[in-house]
């Protein structure tokens, strides 16, 4: 069973009628439960997700995560074991930042409190693609963990031009164009942050507090999963996608 920073200066519109289709179920086979056990995910990576202090305690379950991951072919199943684990780590790190309940002096540290709040993933395109009208019924994503995770993974797996998919970036399947390279958009975790939050965090010449959190979660989870952090973690000098 497998369960055992910052590179710069960081401290440790309505949807169109036809949205991009969900990725086809190909590219790896298997499922992420072969790499991460229930005990590993919830007791080591997300130890406080059921703490009474968390607004979303009891919402996110291992079973929902595994079931939804299987719906998206290639997620956590592409490449060798280190590549697979890096994708799981990167996804959990980015989403943990979005719903963290941690603070600097929190018990166990700020990165032990991922998945503490339930996030309304109100993605119009995602809702259409996964068969749930999240624009008309945004509360669907906070009432059903399966829908919430499905929306998040749809976003992760689906390229939305000019942005590549987070999945392709973390697995090394995205090749930056000359224009991308010229403005600092090179392969690495930083591009995923750019895809998710663009100008709010990237290209400001310094590591924002949000970036510190995203990178902190990545490092914390990588240490637990026994994989390296990779290169190009921050998007300080990276032009945002438009």
Active site residues: 98
- The phi, psi pair for 47, rounded to 5°, reads -70, -20
């Amino acid at each position: 069973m497998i369960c055992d920073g910052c590179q710069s200066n960081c401290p440790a519109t309505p949807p169109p009628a036809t949205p991009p289709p969900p990725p086809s179920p190909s590219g790896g086979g298997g499922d992420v439960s072969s790499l991460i056990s229930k005990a590993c995910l919830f007791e080591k990576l997300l130890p406080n997700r059921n703490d009474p202090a968390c607004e979303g305690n009891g919402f996110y379950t291992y079973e929902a995560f595994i079931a939804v991951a299987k719906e998206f072919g290639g997620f956590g199943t592409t490449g060798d074991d280190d590549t697979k684990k890096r994708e799981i780590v990167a996804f959990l790190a980015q989403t943990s930042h979005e719903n963290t309940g941690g603070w600097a002096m929190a018990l166990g540290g700020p990165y032990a409190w991922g998945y503490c709040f339930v996030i309304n993933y109100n993605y119009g395109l995602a809702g259409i693609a996964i068969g749930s009208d999240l624009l008309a019924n945004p509360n669907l994503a906070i009432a059903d963990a399966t829908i919430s995770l499905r929306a998040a993974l749809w976003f992760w797996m689906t390229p939305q031009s000019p942005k590549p998919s987070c999945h392709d970036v973390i697995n090394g399947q995205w090749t930056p164009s000359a224009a991308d390279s010229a403005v600092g958009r090179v392969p690495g975790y930083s591009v995923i942050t750019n895809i998710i939050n663009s100008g709010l965090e990237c290209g400001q010449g310094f590591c924002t507090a949000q970036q510190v959190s995203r990178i902190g979660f990545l490092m914390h989870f990588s240490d637990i999963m026994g994989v390296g952090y990779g290169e190009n973690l921050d998007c300080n000098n990276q032009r945002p996608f438009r």
